[in-house]
Amino acid sequence: MAYDRDNIFARILRGEIPCDKVYEDEFVLAFNDINPQAPTHVLVIPKGEYVSMDDFSEKASAEEIAALMRATGQIARDIGVAQAGYRLLANTGENGGQEVPHLHFHLFAGRSLGPMLAQ
Ligand code: 5GP
């Protein structure tokens, strides 16, 4: 799938739409989800134009990949959920239920998160 520069996260990255920022570095932005599904619901995104994990893993530089992985763990520590636990989720494509076509990890925490998938 070609990257759509008008997707909502691209617009947040350009500063056209505000976000409730949790973390930012050269390669990564994280912000609170506008419609939280758990007491803590943060979206962690690369700043580069990647649709999905398969796209990112194929095209991103080693520096970008390392930055996203390191930032995700750092955010979990910084917001204080690492010890009690959390869940990372990347919905991908049609079957994965992805709504926004810019790679993002959902970081859910703050309560017991139940089964991994809806039964
Ligand atoms: P997906 O279904 O693509 O995995 O998740 C997209 C997520 O983006 C949803 O959880 C949705 O609530 C969130 N979202 C959509 N638009 C906005 C927005 O403008 N701001 C923020 N902070 N989150 C958004």
What's the pLDDT tens digit per position in 24-48? 999 999 999 999 999 999 999 999 9
The number of distinct structural domains making up the chain is: 1
Task: Note down the domain range covering 82.
Answer: 8-109
Residue 98 lies in a domain: yes
Contact call for residues 41 and 107 (beta carbons, < 8 A): yes
Q: Is the CB of 42 under 6 A from ligand 1?
A: no
Residue 72 lies in a domain: yes
d(CA 83, CA 114): 17
Residue 24 lies in a domain: yes
Quote the pTM value.
Answer: 0.98
pLDDT tens track for 76-117: 999 999 999 999 999 999 999 999 999 999 999 999 999 999
User: Which whole-number Å values give the CA distances from 31 to 20, 59, 69, 102, in the listed order?
Assistant: 5, 24, 16, 14
How far does the chain reach from its first CA to its final CA, in angstroms?
Answer: 29
Q: Is the CB of 58 under 6 A from ligand 1?
A: no
For the question of residue 41 being annotated catalytic, the response is no
Q: Is the CB of 91 under 6 A from ligand 1?
A: yes
Residue 29 lies in a domain: yes
Which atom of ligand 1 is least distant from the CA of 91? 4
Mutate which of 4, 53, 99, 106 for ligand 1 pocket (most atoms within 8 A of beta carbon):
99
- Rounded to the nearest angstrom, the distance between the alpha carbon of 99 and the centre of ligand 1 is 8
Q: Is the CB of 17 under 6 A from ligand 1?
A: yes
Residue 114 lies in a domain: no
Residue 35 lies in a domain: yes
The pLDDT of residue 18 is: 98
Domain of residue 50, CATH code: 3.30.428.10
Residue 100 lies in a domain: yes
- Identify the band that residue 1 occupies on the pLDDT scale cut at 50, 70 and 90: confident
Residue 115 lies in a domain: no
